[in-house]
Amino acid sequence: MSSADDIADVDAVVIGAGVVGLACAYALANAGRDVLVLETARHIGGGISSRNSEVIHAGIYYPTNSLRHRLCIHGRRRLYPYLASRNVAHNKCGKLIVATSEREEAEIAGIYRRAVENRVEGVELISGAQARALEPNLNARAALVSPETGIVDSHGLMRALLGDIERASGAIAYEAPVLGGKVLSDGRILLEIGGRSPMRIAAQSVVNAAGLDATRVARAIAGMPAQSIPQLTLAKGSYFGASGAPAFQRLIYPAPVDGGLGVHLTLDLAGRMRFGPDVEWLDTREPGEVDYAVDPARAESFYEAIRRYWPALKDGALTPDYAGCRPKLSGKGEGAADFRIDGAEAHGVKNLVNLFGIESPGLTSSLAIGEQALARLEGNAPHAALKPTLFLDRDGTLNVEVGYAHKPDDFAWIPGAIDTVKMANARGWLAIVVTNQAGIGRGLYDEAAMQAFNAHMNEELARENAHIDALYFAPHHAEASDARYRHPDHPDRKPNPGMLLRAMREHPVDPLRALMIGDSDKDIEAAANAGLPALHYKQGDLHAQIDNAVAGLRW
For residues 317 and 299, what is the distance between their CA atoms, to the nearest angstrom?
10
Active-site position among 278, 342, 395, 492: 395
3-state SS, 24-73, equals: HHHHHHHCCCCEEEECCCCCCCCCHHHCCCCEECCCCCCCCCCHHHHHHH
3-state secondary structure of 330: coil
Which H or E element spans position 5?
none
Indicate the burial class of 434 (C-beta count within 10 angstroms; 0-12, 13-18, 19 or more).
buried
* Phi–psi pair at 477, nearest 5 degrees: -160, 150
> Is the bond leading into 408 cis (omega within 30 degrees of zero)?
no
Q: Can you tell me whether residue 275 is helix, strand or coil? A: strand
Report CA 300 to chain centroid distance, whole Å. Answer: 36
Kindly give the pairing relationship between strand 509-518 and strand 470-474: unpaired
DSSP code of residue 8? E
Compute CA distances 386 → 65, 182, 510, whole Å.
10, 35, 5
Q: Smallest Cα–Cα separation from 15: which of 151, 217, 235, 239?
A: 217
Helix (H) or strand (E) holding 354: strand 352-356
409: annotated active-site residue: no
Q: Could you tell me where the beta strands, DSSP code E, fall in 60-163?
A: 90-91, 95-99, 124-127, 142-146, 150-152
482 flagged as catalytic: no
Backbone torsions φ then ψ of 76, nearest 5 degrees: -65, -40
Long-range contacts of 216-221 (CB under 8 A, 24+ apart): 216/287, 217/15, 217/178, 218/354, 218/356, 220/178, 220/179, 220/180, 220/181, 221/180, 221/181, 221/182, 221/183, 221/189, 221/191, 221/349, 221/352
Give the DSSP letter of residue 177: -
- Tell me whether residue 364 is exposed, middle or buried, using C-beta atoms within 10 angstroms of its C-beta: 0 to 12, 13 to 18, 19 or more: buried
Phi and psi, residue 496, nearest 5°: -70, 150
* Active-site choice (213, 393, 419, 519): 393
Provide the CB-side half-sphere exposure for 419 (13 A, CA). Answer: 10
Residue 244 Rama label (left phi>0; alpha psi -120 to 50; beta): left
Is residue 65 within 8 Å of residue 356, measured between CB atoms? no
Active-site residues, by number, are: 393, 395
